[in-house]
Amino acid sequence: MIHIKDLKTGLNLFKALSSDIRLQIIELLAEHEHLNLNDLAHKLDLTNGAITMHIKKLEESGLIEIQTAVGKHGIQKICYLNENKLVVELKSQEKGNNIYEVDIPVGRYSSYEVKPTCGMATRDKIIGEFDDPRYFADPQHIHADIVWLTEGHFEYRIPNYLKSNQQFEELQFIMEIGSEAPGYCNNWPSDIYFYVNDQEIGYWTSPGDFGGVRGTFNPDWWPLSLNQYGLLKLIRINKDGSFIDGTKVSEITLDHIGLDYKSDIKLKIGVPAHAKNPHGLTLFGSHFGNYNQNITARVLYQQQM
């Protein structure tokens, strides 16, 4: 999911979508999953030069990605949709009086349970050694910008700033996340579960541990043989239930969690042993992946009279 919280930040993307040809390219990629440049040019009755210009604009906007492959007629450029959803906030909730937002670095977990393959890194270096859970207790973990595990969880404490005359209306969590395979594997489904105050609110099946193309914000030293980026997910819990990217995943509401102005707020993200597809998770923070953001936590609330 591409999530645009401010219209100005989405200007390049809006320009990319302003062409009928580029919209047709997106529709074709959504239908066929991937196509090479020759296929797209043939289907749209365009020259290779013309299709290349349109593809470049779509790639620069982040809507598609391009991978090279060796075919019968030499090296081919294969086009894929980078994301399958686009969310644009026309009215920024951040400017309202009844919302606050906090930025939680992925390394600032308050508790963890980790089984290999696992590891973590800052923008400058690996912390400890790969596949050794002991290093997750290292004090340097608070500086980690990427963390991963095969089984277990990371838990984060979200500050509660509400006053006694204010009531929770909705919780939102936004993060870049994917599966965890040794190295990487684009087809590696993993059931990633989300909990608030130990109440399971639902899970999302990550399609893969994505690599082969360098993540937009990854440091230069990060090996291409490792995972490169995830997908941006939006988790919401309100009076109507729990949602991931607008799809309802459970009937768990804020009433089930029972939050008030005195409550702790704990977000747990994990792959439990009972998961049908237990293929790990990777959390991409700032300086890694395609979005250059940490975990965003939002609290929407009502003022009581």
Report yes or no: 202 and 194 within 8 Å, Cβ to Cβ: yes
- Give the pTM: 0.74
Cβ contact 186:208 at 8 Å: yes
Amino acid at 128: G
Q: What is the pLDDT of residue 18?
A: 87
Choose which CATH entry (3.90.550.10, 3.40.630.30, 1.10.10.10, 2.40.50.140) describes domain 2-81: 1.10.10.10
Quote the radius of gyration of the chain (alpha carbons, Å): 21
Please, where in the chain does CATH 2.60.120.260 lie? 91-303
3 state DSSP class of 136: helix
DSSP letters spanning 18-47: T-HHHHHHHHHHHHHSEEEHHHHHHHHT--
pLDDT tens for 22-64 read: 999 999 998 888 899 999 999 999 998 899 989 988 888 888 8
pLDDT digits (tens, 9 = 90+) for 68-104: 877 666 778 889 887 766 777 665 554 445 999 999 9
Q: What are the backbone angles phi and psi of residue 288, rounded to the nearest 5°?
A: -140, 155
CATH architecture of 91-303: Sandwich (2.60)
CA angle 39, 45, 46 (to 5 degrees): 85
Cα separation, 220 vs 201, in Å, equals 37
Q: Is the peptide bond before 117 cis (omega within 30 degrees of 0)?
A: yes
Token pair for residue 175?
A: 């993060």
Tens of each residue's pLDDT in the chain, 305 residues? 676 766 655 677 888 888 989 999 999 998 888 899 999 999 999 998 899 989 988 888 888 888 887 766 677 888 988 776 677 766 555 444 599 999 999 999 999 999 999 999 999 999 999 999 999 999 999 999 999 999 999 999 999 999 999 999 999 999 999 999 999 999 999 999 999 999 999 999 999 999 999 999 999 999 999 999 999 999 999 999 999 998 999 999 999 999 999 999 999 999 999 999 999 999 999 999 999 899 999 999 998 86
**How far, rounded to the nearest angstrom, does the alpha carbon of residue 185 sit from its chain's CA centroid?**
17
Q: Residue 73 corresponds to which amino acid?
A: H
Tokens (6 digits) for 18: 């302003």
Which residues of the chain are in CATH 1.10.10.10 domains? 2-81
Q: Where are the alpha helices (DSSP H) in the chain?
A: 11-16, 20-32, 37-44, 48-61, 254-257
